[in-house]
Structure 1
Amino acid sequence: MAVIVDQRLPRPLHPLHAVFLAGALPLFAGALLSDIAYWRSYEIQWNNFASWLIAGGLVLAAVALLCAVVDALGARRRPGWRFAYPLVLAAAWLVQLFNALMHARDAWASMPGALVLSAIGTLLALGAVCLGFHVPRRGVVP
């Protein structure tokens, strides 16, 4: 008796999608480090630097989020996990958007809320990168 096994596995991210996704994480992490530097030194330039890093990360993450939604609707990912990556990336983007609004306030008024939002947003972006680059391996079919 012949057994037909469907060998279609999800493909990895498109290279351009991967560049935008991988580019947002260091910008958000740099903003977190800038917020830590501002928290320790109260040099206002660190807060300005964090604002610019967050703005750049939001642009790259928005393009990656658009690619992730198109990818999820195309059903190239596993059925159970295909919406997990776009949802985590959207959560990271929203947290960082609120972080950008927090940084738009006066530098003295932005702490410690901006530091907390930077940490949460960076961890969510790290989770989105891990989910986005995860491709299941080919297993042994019994």
Structure 2
Amino acid sequence: MTQTPNIPPVIESDEREYRDTGVPSTVAIAGHPIHPLLVTFPIAFLCGVLATDIGYWITSDLFWSRASMWLIGAGVATGIIAAITGLLDFLKINRVRQHSAGWIHMVGNVIALALSLVNFGYRWGNEAQAIIPTGIILSLIVATTLGVTGWYGAELVYRHKVAVIGYGPNERP
């Protein structure tokens, strides 16, 4: 006999949403969603730019300015690939568009990619001189934006069960 867990009163009104089995991703390999895997790369690269910019600010070593350019380039390239898979899910899964988390996640990530392209263009041919203060400010804004959009991406997965196939309350694996 399966017992249903006690649900705290705070989410009793959302009980049905939390107990459904979830919505699978439309871009998956063998049932595993691709978007959550791909987003780790642009997040790491674009947040790393803030670290390398700070490294340049502290040391004035040109290595850090070159590293920032490479990280921005890699972050934009992998971000575009991750964005395509996320956009396909956004367009094909109604549940994503029904929640503000989906819209904030998508719009914020588009802004982060656009600002990263601006940052890259601003630094082109002027890597080191572009870091203080404009480059580091752009890097900080992008890293902060990715933190916020990552939060909302997690809301989609963990709260709204997008790209999740689980078991209902009366099912067992």
TM, length-normalised to structure 2: 0.68
The AA in structure 1 aligned to 2:147 is L
Gap runs ≥5 in structure 1: none
Map residues 121-132 of structure 1 onto 2, 5 A cutoff.
121-132=142-153
Check the 8 A contact 1:10/1:78 in 2, yes or no.
Answer: no
Gap runs ≥5 in structure 2: 1-15, 162-173
Identify if the C-alpha distance between structure 1 residues 102 and 110 changes in structure 2 by more than 3 Å, giving closer, same or farther: farther
Check the 8 A contact 1:11/1:77 in 2, yes or no.
Answer: no
1:21 to 2:50 alignment:
no
Root-mean-square deviation over aligned CA pairs: 2.5
Check the 8 A contact 1:30/1:53 in 2, yes or no.
Answer: yes
Which residue does 2:114 correspond to in 1? 94
Deviations along 1:79-106, one digit per CA (max 9) or x if unpaired, are: 0323221111101101111111122142
Identify if the C-alpha distance between structure 1 residues 92 and 36 changes in structure 2 by more than 3 Å, giving closer, same or farther: same
1:104 aligned residue (124, 144, 163): 124
- 3-state DSSP class of the match of 2:151? helix
Q: Which moved more, 1:102-111 or 1:119-128?
A: 102-111
**Identical aligned pairs, as a percentage?**
22
TM, length-normalised to structure 1: 0.81
1:84 to 2:108 alignment:
no
Which residue does 2:11 correspond to in 1? none
1:102 & 1:38 partners in 2: Cα distance? 16
| Count of equivalent residues | 135
Q: State the Cα distance separating 1:37 from its structure 2 match.
A: 0.7
